[in-house]
Structure 1
Amino acid sequence: MKCFKSFGLVILYILIHLVVMKSMEFTFYRSPLRDIAAFKGAVDNNPHLPLIATYAISLLIYIIITKPIKKKSILEYCRFNKISLRDTLTVIFIGLGGLIFNTSIINISFIDKAFPQFDALLSFNYEKSSVLIGILCAVIIGPLLEEFLFRGLIFNELREALPLIPAVLISAALYGVIFVDIPLMTFCFAAALLYTFVYLQTNSLAAVVVIDIVETLGVLVSRRMGIEKVISDIGDIYMIPVFVFSIAMIIGGCYYLWKNKHRESVYTSETSISQ
C-alpha cells in the first residue's frame, strides 16, 4: 500500500507540472492575450516568460500541497537544511567544475559536430531573453523548481517505497525524460546522479541548489560576455584537457564530500561507543 501511495504521489507531482506547463503555453501563445500587441511583443522578446510562470506556479502548488500530504512543510520534507562552510565551499567547487564542463564540452569540435543540440539548449536557456528575465528563469526559479521537484519531492517519495539505488535511478531517469532528445536525456540523467549524490552526502537540498546556481549563473554570464566566441577557435588540443580537468574537479569535490561524511559517521559511532 505504501509503495502504491508513493508512486501515486510521484505521478501527481509530474502531472501538476505538466498541466501547469501546458496551461502556460496556451495562455502565452494561443489565448486571446496574444492579440494584445504589448503582450505579444514582451513574450516574443522574452521567450522565458512562460517558463517563469510555469516554474513559479508549479512551485507554489507544491508548497501548498506538501503540508497536508506529508505533514511537513516542503522545506522540512525536502531537507532544505543549512550547510556548513566547508560543504558550501565544496559544492561551489563542484559547481565551478560543472560550469567548466558545460563550457568546454560544446567547444570540442567533434562533440559539437555530433551533438549540436547541447549548444542550442545553452543558447536558448541563457541568451534568448533579457538579462533580468534570464537570471530569474535559468538561475533562480528554474533551479529551485527542478531541485524541489526531482531531488526533493520525487526522490524522497521513491526512497520511502524503494531501496536507495532504484530510487536514485528512477528519479534520475524522470529528470532526463524532460528532454525527448536521447543525448540530452543521457546528459541530464548523469547530472541527476551527481545532484542526488551531493544531496545524500550533505543531507541538504540547499547544497544541490548552490551547485545549480553556480553552474547556471556562470554559463549565463560567460555566454553574455561572448566567451564562447573567444574560446571557440582555441582548438581541441587545449579544450580536451580543460574538459578532463572539469571532470576531475567534479569527482574530486564529490570524493571530498563523501570522505567528510564518512569521517563524521565514524566519529559519531566512536563517540556513542565511548559513552
Structure 2
Amino acid sequence: MKKVLIMIGNIALYLGVFYALLYLLRSTYNYEATQNFAKFLDVNPAMFMVVLFTLITLVYLIIFRIKGWIWPQEDKNLFRAAGFRRLSASRVLLMIALGLAGSLFSIGLIVIDDIAKQFPSIPALVDDLIRGDSIWYVILGAGLIGPAFEEILFRGLIFRELRRVMPVYAALVLQAGAYAYFQPSAALSVISIGSGLIYGVLYLRTGSLWAPILVQNTAMSTIFLFKYIGFYEWFGRLGDIWLYIITALCLIALIGGSVYVWRTSGNGGIGEQANGSTKGGLTV
C-alpha cells in the first residue's frame, strides 16, 4: 500500500507541476508588462510549447535533486532516472526509419479525403501548430521539444512509477491510456493508444528513452516540414488507392519494427538497466 501511495503522489506531483506552470504561462495574457510576450506566444503556438515544457523540465530537475537529498536512495538525476541511455548506431537508424514511417502514416490520414472528413481534428492540429513567424519555431517546439517532453513525462516518469507497483504489461497499457487521455481530441486519443504502446515497447526493450524520442522527433519534425514545403499536395495527387496502400504499409512497418525490437532486444531492457550506472548519449 505504501508503494502505491508513493506512486500516486509522485504522478500527482508531476501532473500538478504541469498544470501549475500551464496556468502561470497563460496568465501572462492578463498583465500589461507581459502582454507582448503573450502575443508572441499566441502567434507562435509552437514557441508556447518550448517555453512551457522547458520550464516544467527545469522544475522536474529541481524536484529530483530535492528528493535525492531527502531520500538518498532516490536518483537525484532526472535524465538518468528517466532512462536517457546510449543507443547503438543501428538502433538510432531504426528509430529514425520508424519515425519516417510514422510521419507518412500521419500524413496519409490528413490527405486522404474520407479520413480527413471523418477526423478533422488531425489536419486541424497540424494547421494550428504550423502557423507562426518561422518554420524553425514550429520544428523546435512541435517537432523536437514537445515530443521529447511527452516522452520524459509519460514514458520516463509515469511509466517508471507504474512499473514499481504493478506487472510491466499492465503498466505498459496504463501509460498508453494516460498518454491518450491527454490528447486534444477523441481521434488523436484513439491513435495515441497505439502510438503510446509502441513508444512504451521501444523504451522498455531498448532500455533507453532516446528510442521513442527519436521516433517522435523524426515523425513530428517531418510532418511539419513536409507540410511547409508542399509535400502534402504532391502526396495527395497519388490518388486514394495508393494513399491507402502507403498508409497501411507504414502502419505495418511501425508495428513490425516494434515487434522486431521486442524480439531482438535482451531480456533486461529498461528494467535491468534501471539500477545500473550508464552514461547518456545517442550512440556507442
Rounded Cα–Cα distance in structure 2 between residues aligned with 1:165 and 1:206: 21
**Contact 2:179–2:196, Cα closer than 8 Å, also in 1:** yes
Query: Which amino acid in 1 is paired with 2:186?
Result: I
Rounded Cα–Cα distance in structure 2 between residues aligned with 1:2 and 1:44: 41
Count of aligned pairs? 262
- In structure 2, runs of 5+ residues without a counterpart are 68-73, 270-284
**Contact 1:48–1:134, Cα closer than 8 Å, also in 2:** yes
**1:117-160 Cα distance to aligned partner (Å, 9 max, x none):** 10001222334452221122112221221111110011101110
**1:63-88 Cα distance to aligned partner (Å, 9 max, x none):** 12123333331121111100111211
**Contact 2:112–2:240, Cα closer than 8 Å, also in 1:** yes
The answer to whether 1:33 aligns with 2:37 is no
Match of 1:57 in 2: 55
Written as runs of structure 1 = structure 2, the 5 A alignment for 1:127-142 is 127-142=131-146
Match of 2:22 in 1: 21
Cα gap change, 1:241 to 1:4, in 2 (>3 Å): same
Rounded Cα–Cα distance in structure 2 between residues aligned with 1:107 and 1:180: 20
1:161 aligns to what SS in structure 2? coil
**Contact 1:46–1:133, Cα closer than 8 Å, also in 2:** yes
Query: Which amino acid in 2 is paired with 1:160?
Result: R
**Contact 2:18–2:56, Cα closer than 8 Å, also in 1:** yes
Cα gap change, 1:201 to 1:126, in 2 (>3 Å): farther
Query: Which amino acid in 2 is paired with 1:238?
Result: W
**Contact 1:47–1:129, Cα closer than 8 Å, also in 2:** no
2:86 aligns to what SS in structure 1? coil
**Contact 2:50–2:146, Cα closer than 8 Å, also in 1:** yes
Determine which of 98, 107, 122 is the counterpart of 2:111.
Answer: 107
Query: Which amino acid in 1 is paired with 2:52?
Result: T
Cα gap change, 1:122 to 1:35, in 2 (>3 Å): closer
- In structure 1, runs of 5+ residues without a counterpart are 266-275
TM-superposed deviation, 1:41? 5.0
**Contact 1:48–1:129, Cα closer than 8 Å, also in 2:** no
Match of 2:261 in 1: 257
The answer to whether 1:123 aligns with 2:127 is yes
1:106 aligns to what SS in structure 2? helix
**1:153-175 Cα distance to aligned partner (Å, 9 max, x none):** 11101110111122112211221
Rounded Cα–Cα distance in structure 2 between residues aligned with 1:139 and 1:23: 24
The answer to whether 1:152 aligns with 2:150 is no
Written as runs of structure 1 = structure 2, the 5 A alignment for 1:1-275 is 1-27=2-28, 29-33=29-33, 35-36=35-36, 39=37, 42-69=40-67, 70-261=74-265
**1:40-62 Cα distance to aligned partner (Å, 9 max, x none):** 65334323332221111001111
Query: Which amino acid in 2 is paired with 1:57?
Result: L
**1:187-212 Cα distance to aligned partner (Å, 9 max, x none):** 12221111001001100001111111
Rounded Cα–Cα distance in structure 1 between residues aligned with 2:35 and 2:155: 39
TM-superposed deviation, 1:32? 1.9
TM-superposed deviation, 1:263? 8.6
List 4+ stretches of structure 1 deviating above 6 A. none
> What's the % identity of the aligned pairs?
27
Cα gap change, 1:214 to 1:120, in 2 (>3 Å): same
